[in-house]
Amino acid sequence: MTVPDSHRNLRTVRSMDLRSALDKAADAVVVPGYTRIGHALRRRGWEPLPDGALEGSTVVVTGATSGLGEAAASRMAALGAGVVIVGRNPDKAEAAGSRIAAAARHGGGVEVEIADLSLMEEIRRLAVRLLGRPRIDVLVNNAGVLLPERRVTAEGNDVTLATNLLGHFLLTNLLVPRLVESAPARIVNVSSGGMYTARISVSNLQNEGDYDGRVAYARTKRGQVILTEMWAERLRGTGVVVHSMHPGWADTPGVEAGIPLFQRVMNPLLRTAEQGADTIVWLAAADEPAGTTGLFWHDREPRPTHRVSRTRETAEQRERLWRALSDLAGWDDPEG
C-alpha cells in the first residue's frame, strides 16, 4: 500500500518535534546532553558537510597540537582547507602537523606556527606572520588551559586569563582587518559549558587572592562568550560572522591534566575529541551559521548564554571588560 505524501510529511514533522524535545531535555539536565549520549542522540538529524566544503579556504586554529584543536584542524584539512595550526611546543606542533597533513583532502594542507599565546609580544609577532598571507577565511580561538594553581607569565599576567581570554582578544583584533578583507569570513571561539556557572569579574581579571582553577577557567570562558557578542556587533555588516560554542565533555589531554578525577570518573561517558570538535567544524564550513552572528552553539544548535540570573553582566561591565583587556594587551582600539 502506498503511503500518502501527507502522512509521510506528518511523520517527518513528528520525528523532528520528538528530536527537538529530546534535545532540549538533554540540554536542560546537562549530563546526557554534554556526554557522548547527547552527541549520539543529536547527530541522527544532521546533514553531512559536503566534500570540499572548505576547499580554497585558509583556516587558523590555535591550540591545535592535540585534543579538540587537532581534531577540528584535521577535519577541516579533510574538507579542503589550508590549515595553519598554532602551538607552543615545536615538537608537538610538528607532530600534530604531520598527522593533520595525512588527513588532508581536496587540496587541503597544513602549516605550523609556533607561539606562546599567553604572551602578548609573541602574539604580535604571530599576527605579523599571519597577516603576510593573502587571506584568512576562518579563525578558531581554541587555545586554553585549566590550571590547579595560579601562575603568572613573564609579562605579569595570570596564565589562565592570558591564555584563555586576553590572548584571544589581542590576536582576533589584530587579524580582523584581514578577515574583513577576506569576507565572507568567520570567527569561532571555543568556550565551555562551565561558563554557565560563572559571572565575569572585571575587578579581578587576574584571579588574585584565593585561587580556584575551575572558577578562573569558567570566568574566562564566560568572557569569551561576551567578546563573541561584542565582536558580532562591531563587525556587523562587514561579512565577518562571530560565533562561540562549547564541545560538551570530551576526553582530551587538557581535561586529563586539568581535572583528572572528573576524567577518570566520567571516562565511559566522555565524547571523543572528534565528537567534541564537530560543531567547531560545522560553524566554520556549513551554510547555516553564515546567516547569523553572535550566537552560542552546542551540537549544531544555538543555546542560551545564561541559565541563572546571577551570571548576567551589565552593559557597563561589558564595556569595562573590553577596556580592561585593551589596556592589558596594549591594544589601541581604533574605535576608541
Kindly list the catalytic residues: 217
| Angle, helices 315-329/213-234, rounded to nearest 10 degrees | 100
How far apart are the C-alpha atoms of 168 and 144, rounded to whole Å?
Answer: 10
Strand order from edge to edge, sheet including 138-141: 109-114, 82-87, 58-62, 138-141, 185-190, 240-245, 296-298, 301-303
Cα dihedral 170, 300, 278, 169, rounded to 10, equals 0
